[in-house]
């Protein structure tokens, strides 16, 4: 799998390159700035890009803008965005085109290399990887909405993991449940939300996120 | 409509008559004041002074309210703020000049005395009471006597003029009508005259502004210091301590890696989670110092991000073409953030609308659906935005939802610096014409023509007026003088009004007209 990396801090960039190579991934580009990133992504699109939100030359959301622009030019280009902080606002912008293949994680998640590479593969495969903190914020800001109040505690846990982009199998493993039990929980969540059930992990995430975002 | 105009003039007429009554009171007061001053200064009865000034201030306060209510002329109070109460020294003594006192009574009296005596507004008040007794008398007598005389002329059996009734009745009625027409103009003129003596002088305004600036500066410094101390404490007790723990755990793992690889793995896992916790703490701290989303996206998106994170249903409308400076953005952001957090605690709050938009050079943020926050929170917000002369207004419009408005004047001034909007041609042409042509009617055709008419009426020279029939000559000269004065007045007033409209006038006006 061919990976492009955009990160301005040398140590972190080299660390990522080592980590990915150790997991057998092929790093085709490791760039520092927004314009370089855009060139790397649109010239010869990699299988997945890892992008830091804040990049030179402006040190604002240069990386995010470059990633969004690249996805406009190359629809569905898988992008995993890394940041020191997570915002629902950015998550929405990444998910807005509804085509999936996006990830948005805190930089801390790199600590757990196996999980990080797993998330990267998920994004490259067309899935999503939302940081647990984004989901926590999303659920907290919907805490007063009625449908969320109707969920049981277990259903909430399943919902949070589902919204992160995890498959039923991964959720089952995480919560020490059987896959069929997770299936029952997701069906119940979809019923309570009045959403059509779906087995496609990605479509399911988008449906849930869109639903929560639309809630007053 | 017509009835309203008639009633307005009648009211103004009645008020000029009331002014007359006021003039009598003020004349008596002036005499009393002179007596009191003689006693206070000449006989050493200084204790009279404070009650005297207090009485004056009550009377002038009435006159200020009157000017606003009757003529819409707002006259701000010019007085210097009262001195703070005396503070005892370490031994419990109160010092006044070089004398120490056991109780604060005498020092407080001395302070008040100096405060009242040293305030120029005290003397301007006295001057106003004395001189206004004459001015108000004239303003009051003029319409009253004109109307009275007109009525007398109109009534045939008391008329003082030997005119036939056909002339006398309309002429008398016209005079009475004229008196009513004149009344509002006189009333307003009187109010403007009052503002001249009762309003604040530039010196008083500057003194007041300086007091406010000193206060907001020390507030800002205090707040900044407290903030730095908080950050230091949180780094020291939080992230720093955690990093020490990470180092120690790594050290232990290093020692164990050969002897007990399993335990070393556990320790490494601990170190990892410990460093994640340190990162989370630093993230929280950074958010409190300067939120990353604000740095990355500016105020509009930062407020949108706040709205998304809020459990309330928040709608955000942002209309900002340019970014305010970073400190203003931060102050506005934290104000909104604190208000939203407060609103989220309020069970009744549901829908919130936030509007961020420019008002001329000011930045205005309106939060609809947010009730009054706790006083401590409000004070914190006021301190934060006070540095930028910002104000918070809490209230509601009629029966609508509660509202909080934050206004930061001059927040967007940096964006229009040097690009002060130029006067449109419709204004600049009259200004040029006024300056270039005003002299023509004013001097050669006005004053000089008048002087020439008195001194040497035979020499008509280039004076247009003198070629007219005799009865028209003086009115024409008067008209020319008025025309010249008007041209110069217009040429002066238009640029002033323009700069005031576009907020580049550094000095606030001595009085302001309030639209009613």
Kindly list the distances between the CA atom of residue B116 and the CA atoms of A35, B79, B80, B122, B138, in Å, as whole numbers in the listed order: 68, 9, 9, 6, 31
Contact A61 B313 (CB under 8 A): no
ipTM: 0.88
Helix (H) or strand (E) holding B513: strand B512-513
Q: How far apart are CA B357 and CA B363, in angstroms?
A: 6
Phi-psi group of B418: left, alpha or beta (phi > 0 → left; psi -120 to 50 → alpha; rest → beta):
left
Average model confidence (pLDDT) across chain B:
85
Q: Which candidate, B428, B425, B416, B431, places its Cα nearest to that of B502?
A: B416
Angle between helices B120-154 and B165-198 (to 10 degrees): 170
pLDDT string in tens for chain A (216-residue length): 899 999 999 999 999 999 999 999 999 999 999 999 999 999 899 999 999 999 988 888 999 999 999 999 999 899 999 999 999 999 988 888 878 889 999 998 988 889 999 999 999 998 889 999 998 888 888 877 777 778 888 988 888 888 888 888 889 999 999 989 998 998 888 888 877 777 676 667 777 777 776 654
Taking CA atoms, what residue in B is nearest to A85?
Answer: B283
pLDDT of B70 strictly over 60: yes
Please report residues of A whose CB lies closer than 8 A to that of B286: 84-85
- Distance in angstroms (rounded) separating the CA atoms of residues A92 and B474: 81
CA of B391 vs chain A CAs: smallest distance (Å):
29
Q: Where are the alpha helices (DSSP H) in chain A?
A: 10-22, 34-43, 62-73, 88-95, 113-124, 132-141, 146-149, 153-164, 168-175, 179-193, 201-214
Query: Domain A135-214 class?
Result: mainly alpha
Per-residue pLDDT at B265 exceeds 80: yes
Chain A positions with Cβ closer than 8 Å to B: 53-54, 60-61, 83-85, 87-89, 92, 107-108, 111-112, 137, 140-144, 216
The reported pLDDT for the residue numbered B424 is 81
What is the rounded distance in angstroms from the CA atom of residue B497 to the CA atom of residue B485?
18
pLDDT at residue B22 tops 60: yes
CATH of domain A2-130: 3.40.50.2300
- Interface touch B311/A143, C-beta < 8 Å: yes
**Among A108, A141, A143, beta carbon nearest to B279:** A108
Locate the domains of chain A by residue range.
2-130, 135-214
| Band of pLDDT at residue B514, cut at 50, 70 and 90 | very low
Report the alpha-carbon distance of residue B266 to residue B248 in Å, rounded.
14
Q: Are strands B402-408 and A26-31 parallel, antiparallel or unpaired?
A: unpaired
What is the distance between the terminal CA atoms of chain A, rounded to a whole angstrom?
A: 41
CATH of domain B296-415: 3.30.565.10
Q: Give the gap in angstroms from C-alpha A180 to the nearest C-alpha of chain B.
A: 32
What's the pLDDT tens digit per position in B176-231?
Answer: 888 888 888 888 888 888 888 888 878 778 888 888 888 888 888 888 898 899 99
Q: What is the pLDDT of residue B468?
A: 81
Residue B476 predicted with pLDDT over 80: yes
Give A92's contacts in chain B (Cβ within 8 Å): 308
Cβ-contact A69, A97 below 8 angstroms: no
State the CB neighbour count (10 A cutoff) for residue B500.
14
Percent of chain B with pLDDT over 70: 95
Asked if B292's CB is within 8 angstroms of A84's CB, the reply is: yes
* Shortest Cα–Cα distance, B251 to chain A (Å): 18
Per-residue confidence at B299, pLDDT binned at 50, 70, 90? very high
Residue A29 belongs to what H/E stretch? strand A26-31
Q: Which residue of A has its CA nearest to B277?
A: A108
Chain B CB contacts of A87 below 8 Å: 293, 305, 308
Is residue B286 scored above 60 in pLDDT?
Answer: yes
Q: Tell if the CB–CB gap between A89 and B293 is shorter than 8 Å.
A: yes
pLDDT band at B504 (very low <50, low <70, confident <90, very high): very low
Task: pLDDT band for B506, please (50, 70, 90 cuts).
Answer: very low
Interval B31-52 mean pLDDT? 86
- Residue B406 phi, psi dihedral angles, 5° rounding: -115, 125
Pairing of strands A128-130, A79-83: unpaired
Decide if A141 and B311 are in contact by the 8 Å CB cutoff: yes
pLDDT value at position A215? 54
Per-residue pLDDT at B317? 93
Contact of B308 with chain A, judged by CB distance below 8 Å, is answered with: yes
| Residue B450 and residue B416 in contact, taking contact as beta carbons nearer than 8 Å | no
- On the question of a cis peptide bond just before residue A57, with omega within 30 degrees of 0, the verdict is yes
Closest approach of B195 to chain A, Cα-based (Å): 53
B314: closest chain A residue by CA: A216
- At residue B507 the predicted structure's pLDDT band, cuts being 50, 70 and 90, is very low
Measure the CA–CA gap between A210 and A192, rounded to whole angstroms: 15
Q: How many CB pairs under 8 A join A and B?
A: 51
| Nearest of A110, A82, A112, A84 to residue A94 by alpha carbon | A82
Class assignment of domain B217-289?
A: mainly alpha
Residues of B within 8 A of A85 (CB-CB) are 283, 286-287, 292-293
Above 70 in pLDDT, residue B10? yes
CB nearest to A89's CB, from B272, B280, B304: B304
Question: CB B296 to CB A111 under 8 A?
Answer: no
What number is the average pLDDT over the span B356-366?
A: 89
């Amino acid at each position: 799998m061919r990976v492009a990396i955009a990160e301005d801090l040398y140590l972190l960039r080299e660390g990522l390159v080592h980590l990915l190579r150790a997991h057998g991934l092929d790093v085709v580009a490791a760039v520092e700035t927004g314009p370089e990133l855009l060139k790397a992504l649109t010239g010869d699109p990699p299988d997945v890009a890892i992008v830091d939100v804040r990049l030179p030359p402006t040190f604002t959301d240069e990386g995010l803008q470059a990633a969004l622009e690249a996805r406009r030019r190359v629809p569905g280009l898988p992008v995993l965005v890394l940041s020191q902080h997570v915002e629902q606002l950015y998550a929405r912008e990444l998910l807005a085109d509804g085509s999936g293949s996006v990830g948005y994680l805190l930089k801390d998640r790199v600590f757990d290399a196996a999980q990080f590479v797993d998330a990267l593969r998920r994004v490259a495969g067309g899935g999503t990887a939302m940081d647990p903190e984004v989901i926590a914020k999303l659920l907290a800001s919907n805490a007063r909405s009625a449908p969320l109040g109707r969920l049981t505690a277990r259903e909430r846990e399943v919902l949070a993991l589902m919204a992160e982009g995890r498959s039923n199998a991964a959720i089952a493993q995480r919560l020490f449940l059987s896959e069929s039990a997770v299936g029952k929980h997701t069906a119940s969540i979809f019923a309570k939300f009045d959403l059509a059930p779906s087995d496609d992990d990605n479509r399911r995430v988008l449906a849930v996120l869109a639903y929560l975002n639309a809630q007053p | 409509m017509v009835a309203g105009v008639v009633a307005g003039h009648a009211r103004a007429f009645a008020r000029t008559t009331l002014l007359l009554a006021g003039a009598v009171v003020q004349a008596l007061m002036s005499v009393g004041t002179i007596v009191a001053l003689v006693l206070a200064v000449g006989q050493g009865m200084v204790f009279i002074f404070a009650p005297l000034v207090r009485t004056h201030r009550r009377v002038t306060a009435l006159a200020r309210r009157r000017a606003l209510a009757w003529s819409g002329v707002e006259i701000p109070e010019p007085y210097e703020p009262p001195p703070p109460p005396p503070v005892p020294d370490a031994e419990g003594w109160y010092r006044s000049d070089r004398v120490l006192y056991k109780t604060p009574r005498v020092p407080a009296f001395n302070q008040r005395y100096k405060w009242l005596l040293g305030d120029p507004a005290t003397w301007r008040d006295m001057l106003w009471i004395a001189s206004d007794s004459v001015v108000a008398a004239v303003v009051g007598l003029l319409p009253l006597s004109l109307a009275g005389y007109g009525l007398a002329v109109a009534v045939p059996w008391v008329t003082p003029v030997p005119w036939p009734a056909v002339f006398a009745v309309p002429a008398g009625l016209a005079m009475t009508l004229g008196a009513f027409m004149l009344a509002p103009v006189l009333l307003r003129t009187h109010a403007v005259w009052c503002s001249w003596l009762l309003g604040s002088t530039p010196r008083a305004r500057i003194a007041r502004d300086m007091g406010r600036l000193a206060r907001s500066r020390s507030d800002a410094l205090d707040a900044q210091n407290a903030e730095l101390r908080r950050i230091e404490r949180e780094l020291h007790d939080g992230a720093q301590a955690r990093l020490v723990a990470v180092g120690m755990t790594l050290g232990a793992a290093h020692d164990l890696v050969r002897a007990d690889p399993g335990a070393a793995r556990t320790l490494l896992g601990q170190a990892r989670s410990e460093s994640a916790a340190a990162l989370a703490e630093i993230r929280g701290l950074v958010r409190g110092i300067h939120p990353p989303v604000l740095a990355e996206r500016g105020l509009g998106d930062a407020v949108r991000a706040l709205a998304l994170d809020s459990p309330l249903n928040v709608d955000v409308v942002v209309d900002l073409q340019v970014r305010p400076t970073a400190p203003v953005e931060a102050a506005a952001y934290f104000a909104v953030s604190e208000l939203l957090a407060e609103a989220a605690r309020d069970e009744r709050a549901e829908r919130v609308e936030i509007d961020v938009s420019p008002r001329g050079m000011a930045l205005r943020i309106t939060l609809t659906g947010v009730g009054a926050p706790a006083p401590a929170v409000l004070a914190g917000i006021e301190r934060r935005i006070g540095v930028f002369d910002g104000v918070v207004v809490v209230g509601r419009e009629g029966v609508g939802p509660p509202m909080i408005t934050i206004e930061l004047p001059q927040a967007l001034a940096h964006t229009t610096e040097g690009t002060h909007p130029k006067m449109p041609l419709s204004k600049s042409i009259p200004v040029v014409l006024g300056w270039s042509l005003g002299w023509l009617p004013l001097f050669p055709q006005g004053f000089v023509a008048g002087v020439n008419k008195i001194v040497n009426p035979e020499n008509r020279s280039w004076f247009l007026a003198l070629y007219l029939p005799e009865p028209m000559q003086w009115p024409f000269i008067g008209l020319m003088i008025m025309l010249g004065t008007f041209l110069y007045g217009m040429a002066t007033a238009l640029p002033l009004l323009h700069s005031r409209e576009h907020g580049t006038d550094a000095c606030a006006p001595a009085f302001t007209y309030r639209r009613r």
